[in-house]
Amino acid sequence: MLIKKPDDIKGGEITDRKVYLSRRNFLRGAALAATTFATGVVYKQLLAPQPELATPVGRVEPGPQSAPKKWGLPGEEATEYQKIASYNNFYEFGTDKYSPARRAQSLVTKPWTVSVEGLVNKPKVFDLDELTRLFPPEDRIYRHRCVEGWSMVIPWLGFSLGDLIKQSEPQGGAKYVAFETANDPKGRGIPQTDALTWPYVEGLRLDEALHPLATLAVGIYGEPLLPQNGAPVRLVVPWKYGFKSIKSIVRIKLVERMPTTTWVKEVPSVYGFFSNVNPSVDVLRAQATEQRIGEWGRRQTLPFNGYAEQVAGLYDGMDLSYYV
Ligand SMILES: Nc1nc2c(c(=O)[nH]1)N[C@H]1C(S)=C(S)[C@@H](COP(=O)(O)O)O[C@H]1N2
Ligand SMILES: [Mo]
């Protein structure tokens, strides 16, 4: 694998991707600045105590304390709300795990619309309130596996993306679905950092998008999404690595050809379009085990993140060590 040099490993496992990014910037000719930045990030992660949440969390004692059975999975406890809300990837607001909880508070989420467009008979721009009225969200507790090696169990509040897509009446030529995060620095309070190119974009094959597990989430633990978790509406694809679960979505477009995605654009040699959780294929680094946030030790990573029974059929006949 291209990116695993001994140099890269010493910064700490969780900073792998940032180290990669700093190398990319290096290649772009921003050597000094990038190196300084990457070092700063490493120190921050090593030294930072658990950060205070900038947002007053609506529910100080979240679900697990009051109703642990309701929120867990068999043999797996739901991750504490405070952890879900303070350990995030949202590169628009910084590349370390703790920045989004502080910096995403600038995100303007009202009013918010989601456009469903492209190869559909009934394109429509939905106001968020209308969306949740038409598709009432329900509790959906899923594992969330980041390619950096950590995982959580998150009690989302959401509805099936497929229900929204079906009502738009996809045309015969529609084969894929492309998603876009808001990209409006002034109007939406999203800083234009140079970590990635914006907007963040993602995609699914249409049959994946129609699978009932593919979820549009509007809340966690029964509360509206916090900005750092991708308010007011984000994708959740529990059998794929976390980066497929694009946050703060404004556009859903049905298209004929496989759309590009942010991480495929960034590192085509490492990331693939499908990005199904697969313990036997290394993406970024070995993916056989994971650190469940809030637990000691590591868990075995399950094929399709434990959802093989439901989703493996989508990939019948595909060589999943090639179609990563
Ligand atoms: N727009 C946008 N969406 C994003 C990201 C991002 O940087 N920007 N990061 C992804 C990654 S890598 C992960 S692991 C999840 C993290 O979601 P969480 O912070 O709610 O756990 O969001 C994904 N969606
Ligand atoms: Mo991730």
Determine if ligand 1 sits within 6 Å of the CB of residue 89.
yes
Half-sphere exposure of 198 (CA within 13 A, CB side): 18
Determine if ligand 1 sits within 6 Å of the CB of residue 229.
yes
- Domains located in the chain, CATH noted: 17-312 (3.90.420.10)
Neighbours of 282 (CB within 10 A): 14
Would you give the DSSP letter of residue 244? G
Mutate to test the pocket of ligand 1, among 16, 82, 83, 89 (most ligand atoms within 8 A of CB): 89
Token pair, residue 82, equals 């405070």
pLDDT in tens, the chain (324 residues): 333 333 333 333 444 665 555 544 444 433 333 333 333 333 333 333 334 444 433 343 444 444 545 788 998 999 999 999 999 999 999 999 999 999 999 999 999 999 999 999 999 999 999 999 999 999 999 999 999 999 999 999 999 999 999 999 999 999 999 999 999 999 999 998 899 999 999 999 999 999 999 999 999 999 999 999 999 999 999 999 999 999 999 999 999 999 999 999 999 999 999 999 999 999 999 999 999 999 999 999 999 999 999 999 999 999 999 999
* 34, amino acid identity: A
- Report CA(173)–ligand 2 centroid distance (Å): 31
Pick from 224, 285, 242: nearest CA to 85: 224
Residues whose CB is less than 8 angstroms from the CB of residue 20 and which lie 6 or more positions away in sequence, other chains included: 3, 8, 267, 270, 284
pTM of the model: 0.84
CA distance 49 to 64: 23
Determine if ligand 1 sits within 6 Å of the CB of residue 15.
no
